[in-house]
A and B are shown apart, each in its own frame.
Chain A
Amino acid sequence: MKRLALATLVTALGVGILSVPDIAAAQRESPLPTASRMHPDSSTAPLQEPPGGKYKKVSTLVPLPDFIPGLGTLYVDPATLPAGPFLAYDHQGHLVSSIYMIPLKDMNAQKAFNGLKIAHATADHVDIVYNAGHPGVAEPHYHIVVWYVSAQRAAQLAK
């Protein structure tokens, strides 16, 4: 089936490289981060959607809405599936979180996920949430959500 082939394809591509901006520093200085405030290690990843590079909008890879309530608009380097990170942007196109998706079966098998990339930012808080599955990661897994915004701002992503 198409979705099985797609899932197999994106899962089989291997591991890619992530470069994520220093969003926390930008947020401390301005509610609307600008390209001039990007981390020096991040020469190509913009603070605003789209991230560019190897990142693809998730809704173009699998049948999911552009904007996922509670998370935002997601981008991922397909080579890093299923773990990610997925970069999440709010309605204004600002990066709000990095999400790691870890299948339960991998946890139960005590599989290690080493070297996952992180944003050059100070996280505000982390949510670890069970998810029953969705296109792209069609099995029970955990979302480990590293938020770069407050819980109050995260709550604004509900719709």
Chain B
Amino acid sequence: MTSGSRREFLKAGGLVLTGLGVAPLFGTRLLGSPEPKLIEMRSDALGSRVWFDPIGLYVPPGTTVRWLARENVHTTTAYHPKNDHHALRIPDGAAPWDSGFLVKPGATFDVTLTVPGVYDYYCAPHEAAGMVGRIVVGKASGMKARPFDYWVGRPGTDDWRHVPDAARAAFPSVERILAERLVHPRGEQK
């Protein structure tokens, strides 16, 4: 998985390819690269309602996902013990990400997801309010989200944090994501 700016990622690849004398190939690849899958980070004017849109997304492995801050201040942060001791809710072997606060409207953060599985993430200042999202990568069927408290009692998990109730209620099911490929949050304008 690669996180950070997609432009920087492509730029780095371009420099390597240019050094190898295959710049024309790079140009072709760049033009043919699919656009990142966009997830908007939203809020009403009062900051009373906040949400990711879409809240559920299916993508094939290798897809770059781009989070875009529309209003308010948000983060996109993977459920992972390295992120404030949150429970592990991304696939084993997948690297966690944390955008940090995206303060200015229009700010973006990109992550390329390569390991198949279910990725749950949250917005740090809004997790308790239920601002979370789920991405399913890879297989078209047979995948399941981890139960919320699967880790309780396991060695090394004493400092893990439980997923807040509002967040638990907000996640779309994996089955729905696989069926619809793109799930908008309830009650929001598309």
Contact = CB atoms under 8 A, between A and B. Distances in A.
Q: Do A and B come from one complex?
A: yes
Interface of A: 1, 3-4, 63-65, 69-70, 129-135, 138-140, 158
B103 A65 contact: yes
Nearest to A105: B128
B73 A135 contact: yes
Contact of A135 (B43, B125, B131): B125
How many chain B residues sit at the interface, stated as a range, is 20 to 34
B103 A63 contact: yes
Nearest to B43: A132
A138 B111 CA distance: 24
B101 A135 contact: yes
Contacts of A70: 45-46
A117 B58 CA distance: 51
Contacts of A140: 128-129, 166
Interface of B: 43, 45-50, 72-73, 83-84, 98, 100-101, 103-104, 124-129, 131, 166
6 contacts: A63-B103, A70-B45, A130-B46, A132-B49, A132-B131, A134-B47
B103 A129 contact: no
A41 B49 CA distance: 40
Contact of B101 (A3, A69, A132, A139): A3
A130 B131 CA distance: 15
A88 B129 CA distance: 25
Contact of A131 (B48, B84, B103): B48
A133 B103 contact: no
A131 B47 CA distance: 5
Contacts of B103: 63-65
A129 B49 CA distance: 11
